[in-house]
Structure 1
Amino acid sequence: MKLRLDLQFFSGEKTEKATPKKKEESRNKGQVAKSNDVNTALMMLGFFLFLFFYAGTVGEYLMDMMSHVFTEYLLRDITIASVEDIMFEITVESSIVLLPLMAVAVVIGTAAAAMQVGLKYTPEAIKMKLEKIDPLKGFKRIFSARAIVELFKSLFKITLVGAVVFTIIYIHLDDLLMMYQKHPLDGFYLIARLTGLIGVASAILLVILAVPDYIYQRYDHEKQMRMSKHDVKEEHKKMEGDPRIKSKRRQKQMDMAMNRMMQEVPKADVVITNPTHFAVVLKYEDGSMAAPVVTAKGADFVAKKIKELAREDHIPMVENKPLARALFSQADIGDEVPEDLFKAVAEVLAYIYRLKHKI
């Protein structure tokens, strides 16, 4: 009894790698190995790299907009209609300038996610699930070991990024302090360049930190996906079918095939026997068949059953051991008699026809 309990305990341990079927089911549910840090870092890196080349356009737009505000908008009468027009124009112009930045972020974010998990439509992952808004489960997630690890990881990243930002600002501190002496456009370009530099440096740091996080997320996902030996066996049964059910199904198919074969015995012309081990049923219709056809055959118990039916229906039986053995081994049910056995079979049929006074 103790040994059986020990075996059950060890069979319940999740020591086996997830099967392809379980991986596919988890993927359909949106449960995949991915690191959000990778997405964030790559989005940030791509955004600021693009901003380096796009900053001139943004600067020109801001200068034009400020010029337009002081030369056009300030000369208008302040009414509800004029304010609505001004806000609409500013919104449209700002959207045109900001749209490329948002598009870059979306494209890079999508590409980063696809790079980790590929592209697959998973409607199961976006279904409304009430357990996701369960306060008790939410409280457990907040104070779980995983949440604590994420907290310390975030604090570590904030500390490193803060150090990078401080270093860059400290290096350019003199330029920032003297910015009041520069032209406004030069000051804008300085701030834009420093912002881009801080963004790119921080993004590169986050990309470096995201690599071990991605490796850990894959390891943790594989660990969560592990299966016990019992789970693997159960899945195999579901995929292949329960052996007992398969055995019953196979037995039923054999019984149906046997019944169909036995239905051919009363229509036969002759049964050639071994006499005890084999029985082969032959049928020949002159004009519609090129050669005699084996309509049923069997060995041992099946042969005995065929001979019983033949006696009941008065089907002639001929004992010919070599011919019965040869027909049983060389011809399947529905096959014509092999050519090398034509002569022997023809002699048997001629003998039967003579008995029936057919010739």
Structure 2
Amino acid sequence: MDYSLRLSYNLQFFAKEGPGGEKTEEPTSKRLGDARKKGQVAKSQEITVAADLFAFFILLKVFSDILGNRIINIFRRSYNDIPDHMKQINGRMPFKTMHTELVRILLEVLITAAPFFIAGVVLALLCNYIQFGFKVVTEPLKPKPDKFNPINGLKRIFSMQSIFNLIKSLLKITLISAMVFITLTRRKESIFLLYGISLNQGISLMWDIMIEVGIRCAAVYMIVAFIDFVYQKHKFHEDMKMTKQEVKDEYKDSEGDPQIKAKQKQKMREQSMRRMMKELPKADVVITNPTHIAVALSYHEGEDIAPRVVAKGEDFLAKKIKDAAKEHGIEIVENKPLARMLYANVDVNEFIPPELYKAVAEVLAYVYKLKGKV
């Protein structure tokens, strides 16, 4: 008998597509803007760390003499004051003096370390600004329940980001270890001299070697940071890509549903047509193409500065205008060039331009003559 074990699984668990299909569309500016508001930007922390590390060792090299003298003075003064501190501990001197001395030493240490601290803060802000600008957001501080989901946790553990982080860590260890080995090998002759030189000379030599190793390792770290930055930019771009359905949904949200907009435009056209037909009985003449275009004009001497278009339309609407004109006894005059000019250049409820005064005046004079007004 065949006792085979069959396991069912859902391949969608491993899929990268979002709802609506595969993410093949470029991210829109709105999607990128929304992500930025949530604190989701393409950034590499390694850039900041590498820059701070490089600046730290450069400052050590530049200010080594000043820094060394300050440290020696702090140590010397503290060492010389040990007898007085012992008297204070034994109760022979007030404890306030010892407290003041400790505060002084702490302030000197803080002043000595201040340039390194300031440089670190400035570089961190500058690196972040160069990568994604400056924007204060509180969204990343909000608790997210999905972070406590064990399934999501497993996905993060076995994600491409985790694999890349592992490769990046191995690369950092390998490159930095190799750089330390190469630098120490180059300076091995100097290191062997430690047996025959004074303490101050030995400290100075080890200080120089330490700074050289640090600068070289920081330079190597810069290479890793650049690789990480390129990857983070690529990954962020891929994560921000959208499915076709997401693009459609975003367009509907920002621009409105096309069907709804079409209905709104249709409703506006109907309202406009009703207003035109309501104003049409006030017209004095309707100028036609004769079949495709109809423009109704009105002019009240003493009230209007020029003849005004009260209605216009083409095809079906032109026919309705002509039918309404016949119903209300309004004269219909065929003038193809004038009808086209009026239809193309004058909107409803606008006065005609001066260049058409003469042509319209001739039509109105003809209409008034028919009606016996002149």
The interval holding the TM-score normalised by the smaller chain is 0.7 to 0.9
Report whether the alignment pairs 1:56 with 2:65. yes
Report whether the alignment pairs 1:336 with 2:352. yes
Report whether the alignment pairs 1:23 with 2:23. no
CA 1:171 to 1:343, structure 2 compared with 1: closer, same or farther past 3 Å? closer
Matched residue type, 1:75: D
**Alignment match, 1:128:** 142
Report matched runs for 1:1-359 at 5 Å: 12-72=21-81, 74-76=83-85, 77-78=88-89, 80-115=95-130, 117-123=131-137, 125-131=139-145, 134=148, 136=150, 137-138=152-153, 140-142=155-157, 144=159, 146-172=161-187, 175-176=190-191, 179=194, 182-272=197-287, 277-310=292-325, 314=328, 316-322=329-335, 325-331=336-342, 332=346, 333=348, 334-336=350-352, 338-351=356-369, 354=372
Note if contact 1:73-1:86 (Cα within 8 Å) is conserved in structure 2: no
Q: Distance in 2 between matches of 1:243 and 1:130?
A: 35
Q: Note the residue ranges of structure 1 that are not aligned, 5 or more in a row.
A: 1-7
| Deviation of the 1:59 alpha carbon | 0.6
SS in 1 for 2:331: strand
Deviates more, 1:38-47 or 1:181-190: 181-190
| Deviation of the 1:125 alpha carbon | 4.4
Note if contact 2:43-2:132 (Cα within 8 Å) is conserved in structure 1: no
Q: Distance in 2 between matches of 1:165 and 1:214?
A: 24
| Deviation of the 1:64 alpha carbon | 1.2
Note if contact 1:17-1:227 (Cα within 8 Å) is conserved in structure 2: yes
CA RMSD of aligned residues (A): 3.2
Q: Note the residue ranges of structure 2 that are not aligned, 5 or more in a row.
A: 1-16
Q: How high is the TM-score relative to the length of structure 2?
A: 0.78
Note if contact 1:33-1:218 (Cα within 8 Å) is conserved in structure 2: yes
SS in 1 for 2:42: coil
Identical columns (%):
33
Note if contact 1:273-1:318 (Cα within 8 Å) is conserved in structure 2: no
Q: Distance in 2 between matches of 1:233 and 1:284?
A: 49
CA 1:236 to 1:310, structure 2 compared with 1: closer, same or farther past 3 Å? same
Cα deviation, 1:304-336, whole Å, max 9, x if unaligned, reads 433454466x4x3223222xx344311123232
SS in 2 for 1:294: strand
Q: How many residues are paired up?
A: 344
Q: Distance in 1 between matches of 2:210 and 2:176?
A: 13
Matched residue type, 2:334: K
SS in 1 for 2:63: helix
Note if contact 2:325-2:332 (Cα within 8 Å) is conserved in structure 1: no
Note if contact 1:273-1:317 (Cα within 8 Å) is conserved in structure 2: no
SS in 2 for 1:320: strand
